[in-house]
């Protein structure tokens, strides 16, 4: 029999009021920051269904921005995240969407700076847990609860093998892995959840593997 952790039931240590609308939202924002690789200069946040209806009263707005600022769910600055973002000249826009989604707690977060931008879709599934379901148009399933490596690569023979060979060399165990592509022979996205945080030296070696375009990571 599998037993749930008490934190699966009551949610993580957090600044309230809601594990789904606050802690989960913060983790979506933090995932966006991590995958972008730095603090963005601007963000457009599209909110759907329950998120769109209650984001101000339930703290979803400041929690998403707190995540973008790099705050953990229990950071005492969380409730002041909107003010802190303004002080850091981060431009934030919230858009209330009327369309239906597969999950009521859904946010589409577009972040960027003067050179580039990135888009992801995250859902808060309860108890502070989240799933990232889309990244720059690629469908994926990323829990955000484990360290992960996201690898953009050319859809070519040997790309996956070159990555897994390096991970095996450093005795890094793969917990979950999936590969998505938009078309045969075009760009593809490799998503690998691992059991431990990956050192930057390993990432540098991965970047030099066959057919790799770009690498980002999420730490636990």
CATH of residue 203's domain is 3.30.70.260
How many angstroms separate the CA atoms of 123 and 76, rounded? 23
Same domain, 58 and 162: no
The pLDDT tens digits of the residues spanning 158-188 come to 899 999 999 999 999 999 999 998 888 789 9
Same domain, 123 and 153: no
Q: What confidence score (pLDDT) does residue 219 get?
A: 78
Q: What confidence score (pLDDT) does residue 8 get?
A: 41
Alpha carbon 196 to chain centroid distance?
17
| CATH code, 41 | 3.30.1330.90
How many angstroms separate the CA atoms of 181 and 144, rounded? 21
Domain count within the chain: 2
Same domain, 82 and 26: yes
Sign of CA dihedral 207, 32, 119, 165: positive
The pLDDT tens digits of the residues spanning 134-163 come to 999 998 888 777 889 999 999 998 899 999
| Domain final residue, candidates 71, 104, 135 | 135
The pLDDT tens digits of the residues spanning 23-54 come to 899 999 999 998 898 999 999 999 999 999 98
Counting residues of the chain whose pLDDT is more than 90, the rounded percentage is 63
Counting residues of the chain whose pLDDT is more than 70, the rounded percentage is 90
Q: Are strands 42-48 and 91-96 parallel, antiparallel or unpaired?
A: parallel
Range of the domain at 72: 6-135
Same domain, 154 and 186: yes
Is residue 143 in some structural domain?
no
Give 77 or 18, the one with higher predicted confidence. Answer: 77
Please, what's the largest Cα pairwise distance for the chain? 51
Same domain, 22 and 101: yes
């Amino acid at each position: 029999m599998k037993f749930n952790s008490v934190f699966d039931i009551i949610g993580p240590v957090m600044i309230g009021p809601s594990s789904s609308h606050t802690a989960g939202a913060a983790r979506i924002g933090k995932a966006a920051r991590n995958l972008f690789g730095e603090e963005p200069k601007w963000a457009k946040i599209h909110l759907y269904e329950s998120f769109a209806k209650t984001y101000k009263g339930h703290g979803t707005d400041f929690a998403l921005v707190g995540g973008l600022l790099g705050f953990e769910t229990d950071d005492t600055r969380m409730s002041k995240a909107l003010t802190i973002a303004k002080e850091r000249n981060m431009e934030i826009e919230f858009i209330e969407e009327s369309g239906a989604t597969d999950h009521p707690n859904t946010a589409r977060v577009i972040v960027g700076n003067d050179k580039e931008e990135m888009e992801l879709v995250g859902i808060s599934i309860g108890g502070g847990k989240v799933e990232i379901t889309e990244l720059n148009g690629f469908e994926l399933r990323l829990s955000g609860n484990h360290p992960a490596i996201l690898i953009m690569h050319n859809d070519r023979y040997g790309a996956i093998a070159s990555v897994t060979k390096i991970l095996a060399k450093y005795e890094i165990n793969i917990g979950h892995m999936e590969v998505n592509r938009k078309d045969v022979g075009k760009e593809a996205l490799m998503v690998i959840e691992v059991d431990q945080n990956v050192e930057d030296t390993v990432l540098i070696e991965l970047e030099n593997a066959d057919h790799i375009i770009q690498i980002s990571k999420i730490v636990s």
